[in-house]
Amino acid sequence: MYRLEQTVAIVDADPLLRKALARLLFLFGYDVELFDSAAGFLDVTAASKATCLLIAVELGETSGLHLAEQLFDRGFEGPIILMSTSDDDTIRQRSVDLGCAGYLHKPFTDGQLIDAIERAVGSKLHRG
């Protein structure tokens, strides 16, 4: 399994969803970092131990797509999985074009989330 010493950073404006996802990931052996905004994560990017990012497309002040683009431009090489309440093909295609490792349509199952993370972390998918 790929969970050993893996940290997933969750960037989502919804505090209940962040907490639920953190609990689930902890149960599956992941360390978790929680952020309520793109700015919050960008402020600590250098200090973050995240090996995989789980980012909501809908963040309020900016979009998760924009955050992913900024991170890739800054040289972040870890996998990024976007999650969205919209099952919009344009958003999905933009995430692929950016080099994101996955796209999850909310609501998703626990299994879909864990599978997406394990595929992303295990294959080290990243922009490149």
Contacts (Cβ under 8 Å, ≥6 apart) of 36: 11, 12, 13, 15, 18
Does 125 score more than 80 pLDDT? Answer: no
In the numeric block, which tokens belong to residue 117?
């993370």
Helix (H, G, I), strand (E, B) or coil at 80: strand
Please give the C-alpha separations between residue 79 and each of 16, 21, 50, in angstroms, as whole numbers: 24, 17, 10
In the numeric block, which tokens belong to residue 124?
């080290």
**Multiple choice CATH, 7-122, 2.60.120.330, 3.90.1150.10, 3.40.50.720, 3.40.50.2300:** 3.40.50.2300
Domain boundaries, the chain: 7-122
Q: How confident is the model at residue 5 (pLDDT cuts 50, 70, 90)?
A: confident
pTM: 0.90
**CA–CA gap between residue 106 and residue 128 (Å, rounded):** 27
For residue range 90-117, what is the model confidence (pLDDT) as tens digits? Answer: 999 999 999 999 999 999 999 999 999 9
Across the range 56-85, mean pLDDT stands at 93
**Identity (one letter) of the amino acid at 112?**
Q
